[in-house]
Amino acid sequence: MSFDALERALVELAASGELTREQAEQVRERYMVELARPEESIAPTNVPSLNVQEVNAQEGHVQENHVEEDRSRRSLLGEIGGYVGGAFTLVATLVILGSTWSQLSNVGRIITLLALTLIFAAVALLLHRGEKSPVRARLVATLFSFAGISGAATAGVATPWQKALVAGIIGSIIVDLAYFRNRTSVGHVSLFAFKIFATIAFLDAINIFNGAVAALLFAAIAVAWYFFTRRGILHEKMLGFTIASATAFVSAEIAFIGSSHIVGYLLFLATGVGGYLIYSRTRLWPFLVAAVAASTFGIAQLIITTLGGALGVSIGLLGAGLVLLGASTYILRTRRSAPPQS
């Protein structure tokens, strides 16, 4: 910078009040001193050097991120491969058995299915003993579910009486043991599926698949599933509450299918009232959905059954619409005061 440029800058700064006259004069003197010094005596400007350790740490962090990404990618591919491989193994075995089933003796059938069960269980246990991760846990649960299916088939073939019931019980035992050793949403769904299968097999064995008894039994399953989930026996809370709510609604429909209308109305009423009460305390959507569905279908079926004909259907739809409007109003009003969910 030339002296004239420096002088103009100092005058402007002094005029604006950002520098006093004394400070401007000190800057001029210092500038003149620096001009008089030889260049060799001017100390070089210190440029901060990069810390080698910091650079290495940053490079190591980047490498760790790449390693984690690669590991996550391999885990995903391994999970998909496990699902596809297990499904292919199960389907291929069933196809082979389907073509040679009639040629196998009963002992041969049992041995084949039992071997398949042991293969799935052994692979699942081997994976379960390794490094713990959500991906591995889901894969283990899937393999145990396949083991439950093949184990249920083995029991069904081996037993001479009530094959479906025995198969359901054995399959339920396998997936129960698997779930409480490896708790995942996959195992949770498998657990429920086998419980329903065993229940249907039991109802079929005593010839009351439809009707009030079947509806009440499904309602009991819904209540039990709710309490097991609430107490933490079933860890996946939202999934457990969704299953309980859906089962409660289905139980009322089962009553109507079996022409037990009074039981169906009572179950719709219980599902609706219970769903609204639990939702008012928890603000969890599965209970609200169940309550709205039960109220809508219950009122519509009541009106349609009572009046009958086209008029009954029209009024039933009107009642269902009014219930939905009321439920929407209730949802909008309560959501404003809903506590934040953690």
131, 123, 130, 128: which is closest to 81 by C-alpha? 123
Q: What is the pLDDT of residue 134?
A: 83
Closest CA to 304 of 325, 327, 326, 320: 320
Residue pair 16/23 in contact by the 8 Å Cβ criterion: no
Cα dihedral: 316, 322, 324, 327 (round 10): -140
pLDDT higher than threshold 90 for residue 332: no
Answer yes or no: are the C-beta atoms of 289 and 246 closer than 8 Å. no
pLDDT mean across residues, the chain: 78
pLDDT, one tens digit per residue, over 161-212 is 889 999 999 999 999 999 998 899 999 999 999 999 999 898 888 876 667 8
Confidence of residue 259 (pLDDT cuts 50, 70, 90): confident
pLDDT at 220: 95
Phi, psi of 105 (to 5 degrees): -75, 170
**For residue 151, which of 175, 171, 137 has the smallest C-alpha distance?**
171
Give the other-Cβ count within 10 Å of 213's Cβ.
Answer: 17
CA distances from 43 to 33, 34, 39, 319 (A): 15, 12, 9, 91
Helix (H, G, I), strand (E, B) or coil at 127: helix
- For residue 120 the two structure tokens come to 């799935």
Would you say the pTM of this structure is higher than 0.85?
Answer: no
Q: Let me know: does 268 contact 245? Beta carbons within 8 Å.
A: no
Report the SS3 class of residue 210: coil
* Percent of the chain that is helix, strand, coil (3-state, to 5): 85, 0, 15
The rounded distance, in Å, linking the Cα atoms of 31 and 91 is: 89
Residue 112, exposed/middle/buried by CB under 10 A (0-12, 13-18, 19+)?
A: buried
**In this model, does residue 79 exceed pLDDT 90?**
no
Report CA 132 to chain centroid distance, whole Å.
Answer: 18
